Amino acid sequence: MSLVKKNHASSGNADHRHLPRDRAGLLRQLQDASPDIRRWAALDLAAFPDTAEALCARLEQETGLPVREALLTTLIKIGGNAVVKGLMPLLRSEDATLRNEVIEALQQLPEAVSPYMETMLRDPDPDYRIFSINVLANLRHPQAPAWLQAVIERDADINVCASAVDVLAEVGGPETVPVLTGLPGRFDNDPFMQFCVQATIRRIQGHDA
């Protein structure tokens, strides 16, 4: 049974790749009823970096997980400002799976994300700021600790600050300890914040596994 299915899939994929592979044809195929056709179109559009906006728009609508994976693979390959600007609004999506996929994609584009990070961390929506902090967890950018320190110095939302503290436990160094030490006082020495800060300082200083 599985062998028959594999043969059918192989034949179908071959047929899909014989559809027009030009820019206009691939963009049309992104709207096709067949997930396989949409998936191949998404992958092949990597040859057309100027389609980043269209790919991001399709990502917001796409419900098929393999197709979304293909869209994100292509967007990461294209990279650059257009991709980051197209992905940033999707952090507001009600679809938690999509948000997490976008966070992971942005984490792979540190140089393209960096010019926008300060704006993201100052967004009026605290949930958006938290999702932006989540991007920093694996962004691998040298400015990540400084961005997080700025958050815990200025942000008025305790949950946003707690998220920043949590990520600093992974990316922060000894230079972040003074800022961390002063944080609980900004929230009337809230016990939860005190616990978060103490745990992070222990982690940074190597006293906690």
What's the pLDDT tens digit per position in 153-208? 999 999 999 999 999 999 999 999 999 999 999 999 999 999 999 999 999 998 65
Contact 176, 203 (CB under 8 A): no
Does residue 128 register a pLDDT over 80?
Answer: yes
- Which region, left, alpha or beta, applies to residue 206 given φ > 0 means left and ψ of -120 to 50 means alpha? left
Would you state the pLDDT for residue 13?
52
- Nearest CA to 132 out of 152, 113, 108, 154 is that of 113
Average pLDDT over residues 79-93: 97
Residues whose CB falls within 8 Å of the CB of residue 183, separated by 6 or more in sequence, listed in order: 152, 161, 165, 193, 197
Residue 21's pLDDT band, with cuts at 50, 70 and 90, is confident
User: What amino acid is encoded at 21 in this protein?
Assistant: R
Give me the chain's average pLDDT, please: 91
Going by pLDDT thresholds of 50, 70 and 90, the confidence category of residue 17 is: low
Q: Which residues of 184-208 are buried (b: 16+ CB within 10 A; e: fewer)?
A: bebbeebeebeebbeebbebbeeee
With residues binned 3-state (H G I as helix, E B as strand, rest as coil), the percentages for the chain, rounded to 5, are 80, 0, 20
Position 209 confidence tier, pLDDT thresholds 50, 70, 90? very low
The answer to whether the Cα torsion of 46, 48, 50, 54 is positive or negative is negative
Please, what is the angle between helix 158-171 and helix 191-204, to 10°? Answer: 10
Residues 96-122, mean pLDDT to the nearest whole number:
97
What is the pLDDT at residue 18? 66
Beta-carbon neighbour count of residue 145 at 10 Å? 18
pLDDT digits (tens, 9 = 90+) for 43-63: 999 999 999 999 999 999 999
Is residue 6's pLDDT more than 90?
A: no
Give residue 35's identity as a one-letter amino acid code.
P
CA distance 205 to 10: 54
The residues, any chain, with a CB within 8 Å of residue 32's CB and separated by 6 or more, are: 38, 41
Other Cβ atoms within 10 Å of 164 Cβ, number:
28
Place of tokens 């010019």: 115
**Which of 100, 174, 173, 121 shows the shortest CA–CA distance to 142?**
173
Chain segment 36-45, per-residue pLDDT in tens = 999 999 999 9
pLDDT of residue 14 exceeding 80? no
State the pLDDT at residue 16. Answer: 58
Segment 113-133 shows an average pLDDT of: 98
